[in-house]
């Protein structure tokens, strides 16, 4: 008799719980009038974005030696398929031996899983006297654990001033080793993933509110019967 009652209870449960197929790419089964399971989004389309800013310090070597100091910002897409990172740099270089100061602004990009970077820079140099010069040029680098080795070439404008014979002592072909100190980090998902996360959060709140209402209703009925 007990076995028969158990079988009847199982049959009644399976009759009320009707399986409904969930949308594609998920691994859950939703039952009507039962607890709704959240979809597990396990595909390769989710993208995580990182934005950070920080400071850089480095040494530049060429015909002359300069120290470098400045700031840098990174925009990174973290993905298994097509990751990339874009960096923007604003820094200065100072040649101690010749008292030449340079202001630099540049941008570079690293595509895929290879650590090579490709970029370009614009520069302004002065010796705090009559000589000054502007420059622009490409660069190729290699990034590894915060270190960025940059090899570049600078095309300079005429850096002779009136009455001067010697050019401004500036590296046209150079190599720099910079270290990046991150100060601020922010992580965000892509819009589609964020939309799904908000929908799941909203659904959890709705279920929680529904369970609370049902619990309150049961207690009210129980209190009325007493």
| β-bridge partners, 71 | 55, 90
Please indicate, yes or no, if residue 201 is contained in any of the structural domains: no
| Residues 101 and 9 reside in one and the same domain | no
| Residues 14 and 76 reside in one and the same domain | no
Residues 154-211 pLDDT 10s: 999 876 555 556 778 899 999 999 999 999 888 776 666 666 666 777 778 878 887 8
| Residues 70 and 108 reside in one and the same domain | yes
Measuring CA to CA, which residue among 151, 154, 143 is closest to residue 179?
Answer: 143
Q: What is the CATH number of the domain that holds 179?
A: 2.40.160
| Residues 66 and 153 reside in one and the same domain | yes
CA 157: distance to chain centroid? 37
CA 32: distance to chain centroid? 40
* Cβ neighbours of residue 49 closer than 8 Å, sequence gap 6 or more: 75, 76, 77, 78, 187, 188, 189, 190
| Residues 163 and 56 reside in one and the same domain | yes
| Residues 33 and 89 reside in one and the same domain | no
| Residues 145 and 162 reside in one and the same domain | yes
| Residues 11 and 98 reside in one and the same domain | no
Please indicate, yes or no, if residue 30 is contained in any of the structural domains: yes
Please indicate, yes or no, if residue 116 is contained in any of the structural domains: yes
Q: How many domains does the chain have?
A: 2
**Residue numbers of the domain that contains 14:** 1-43
Indicate if the pLDDT at residue 37 is higher than 50: no
Q: Distance between CA 71 and CA 77 in Å, rounded?
A: 20
Residues 107-166 pLDDT 10s: 999 988 888 999 999 999 999 988 889 999 999 999 988 899 999 999 998 765 555 567
| Residues 145 and 67 reside in one and the same domain | yes
At residue 127, the 3 state secondary structure works out as coil
Please indicate, yes or no, if residue 212 is contained in any of the structural domains: no
Please indicate, yes or no, if residue 17 is contained in any of the structural domains: yes
Q: Distance between CA 193 and CA 187 in Å, rounded?
A: 13
Q: Distance between CA 147 and CA 57 in Å, rounded?
A: 10
Instruction: Return the residue matching tokens 């820094």.
Output: 91
Q: 206-215: list long-range contacts, CB under 8 Å, 24+ apart.
A: 207/35, 207/36
| Residues 78 and 158 reside in one and the same domain | yes
Please indicate, yes or no, if residue 117 is contained in any of the structural domains: yes
| Residues 28 and 69 reside in one and the same domain | no
User: Helical H runs in the chain?
Assistant: 2-16, 191-225
pTM to 2 decimal places: 0.61
| Residues 181 and 97 reside in one and the same domain | yes
């Amino acid at each position: 008799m007990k076995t028969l009652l158990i079988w009847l209870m199982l049959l009644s449960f399976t009759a009320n719980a009707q399986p409904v197929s969930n949308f594609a790419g998920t691994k859950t089964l939703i039952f009507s009038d039962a607890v709704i399971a959240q979809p597990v989004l396990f595909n390769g389309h989710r993208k995580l974005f990182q934005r950070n800013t920080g400071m850089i310090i480095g040494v530049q070597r060429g015909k002359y030696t300069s120290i470098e100091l400045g700031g840098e910002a990174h925009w990174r897409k973290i993905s298994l398929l097509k990751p990339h990172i874009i960096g923007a740099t604003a820094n200065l270089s100072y040649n101690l031996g010749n008292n030449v100061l340079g202001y630099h602004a540049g941008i570079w990009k690293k595509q895929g899983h290879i650590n090579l970077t490709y970029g370009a820079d614009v520069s302004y140099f002065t010796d705090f006297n009559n000589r000054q010069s502007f420059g622009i040029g490409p660069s190729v680098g290699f990034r590894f654990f915060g270190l960025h080795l940059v090899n570049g070439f600078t095309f300079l404008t005429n850096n002779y001033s009136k009455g001067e014979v010697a050019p401004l002592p500036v590296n046209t072909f150079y190599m720099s080793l910079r270290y990046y100190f991150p100060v601020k980090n922010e992580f965000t998902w892509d819009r589609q993933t964020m939309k799904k996360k908000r929908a799941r959060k909203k659904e959890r709140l709705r279920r929680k509110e529904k369970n609370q209402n049902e619990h309150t209703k049961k207690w009210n009925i129980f209190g009325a019967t007493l």
